[in-house]
C-alpha cells in the first residue's frame, strides 16, 4: 500500500512537467509528510485539456453520506479495480495521476517497532502514481477525491513491503489518462526493477504531525 508520501516540486514546475493548467488553490509545497485526507496534486484530463487540481486523498464513493460513512479508501488494488463497486466506474472514466517526490513504507523489528523507509526514483525525477478520482458532495461542499492504485511489490521493494503504488512513466501518462484510446489495463503491473531506491529515515515520520526536510534524510539502517 501507500499511506504517506512527500511532494517537493513547485506547483508551476508540476504544471509545466505535466502540460497541465494549474488551479489557483493547489496545496502548498514542499510537504514532506503528506497524509490521508490531505489535499494532494492531481493531474486529470478535462474537455479543455489537462488540469492540475487539489483533491482530497481518500476516495469517497457517491453513496457515502458523510466523509466517514465507510472505510478510508486511500489505495485501490489494481487486481480488483475494475470489479469493486467503489472504483469500477472511476477505473473506466476517471483515471488520474497523483504527483509525488517519494513515498514511505515501514518494516517492523522483532520487538514490534516501526522502522520507516523512504523510496524515490533513482534518476531524481518526480513520481506519477496512477490514481482514480471521484467528485463527492453537493453544491459548495462538492470536492474531488482520489485513491492511489497499488500492485504487488516488485522483487526489489518486496524486501520492505508486499505492495507498491503503480508508478507510471511519462510515455504511459496519455494512455492512463484516457487521451489515446483504450488499453490502460496493460499498465497495471508491478513497476520495473531498478527504477527506485530506498533508505532508512528517522522514526519521527511515524507521527502524522511531523514536518520538514529532515524526514527524508537518510540514517544508518
List the catalytic residues.
Answer: 2, 105
- What 3 state SS string does 54-83 have? EEEECECCCCCCCCCCCCCECEEEHHHCCC
Distance CA 146, CA 73 (A): 8
Q: Report the DSSP beta bridge partners of residue 146.
A: 57, 133
Region of 9 (left: φ > 0; alpha: ψ -120 to 50; beta: rest) is beta
Of residues 213, 196, 8, the one with CA closest to residue 100: 8
Amino acid at each position: 500500500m501507500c499511506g504517506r508520501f512527500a511532494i517537493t516540486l513547485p506547483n508551476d514546475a508540476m504544471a509545466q512537467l505535466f502540460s497541465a493548467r494549474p488551479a489557483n488553490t493547489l496545496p502548498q509545497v514542499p510537504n514532506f509528510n503528506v497524509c490521508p485526507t490531505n489535499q494532494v496534486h492531481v493531474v486529470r484530463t478535462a474537455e479543455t485539456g489537462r488540469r492540475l487540481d487539489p483533491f482530497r486523498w481518500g476516495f469517497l464513493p457517491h453513496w457515502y453520506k458523510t466523509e466517514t460513512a465507510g472505510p478510508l479508501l486511500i489505495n485501490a488494488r489494481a487486481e480488483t479495480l475494475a470489479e469493486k463497486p467503489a472504483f469500477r466506474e472511476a477505473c473506466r472514466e476517471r483515471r488520474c495521476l497523483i504527483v509525488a517526490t517519494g513515498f514511505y513504507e515501514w518494516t517492523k523489528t522483532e520487538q514490534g517497532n516501526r522502522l520507516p523507509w523512504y523510496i524515490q526514483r533513482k534518476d531524481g525525477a518526480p513520481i506519477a502514481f496512477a490514481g482514480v478520482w471521484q467528485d463527492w458532495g453537493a453544491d459548495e461542499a462538492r470536492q474531488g477525491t482520489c485513491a492511489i492504485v497499488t500492485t504487488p511489490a516488485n522483487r526489489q521493494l518486496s524486501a520492505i513491503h508486499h505492495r507498491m503504488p503503480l508508478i507510471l512513466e511519462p510515455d504511459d501518462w496519455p494512455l492512463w489518462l484516457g487521451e489515446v484510446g483504450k488499453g490502460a489495463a496493460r499498465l497495471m503491473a508491478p513497476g520495473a526493477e531498478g527504477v527506485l531506491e530506498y533508505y532508512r529515515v528517522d522514526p519521527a515520520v511515524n507521527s502524522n504531525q511531523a514536518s520538514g526536510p529532515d524526514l527524508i534524510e537518510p540514517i544508518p539502517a
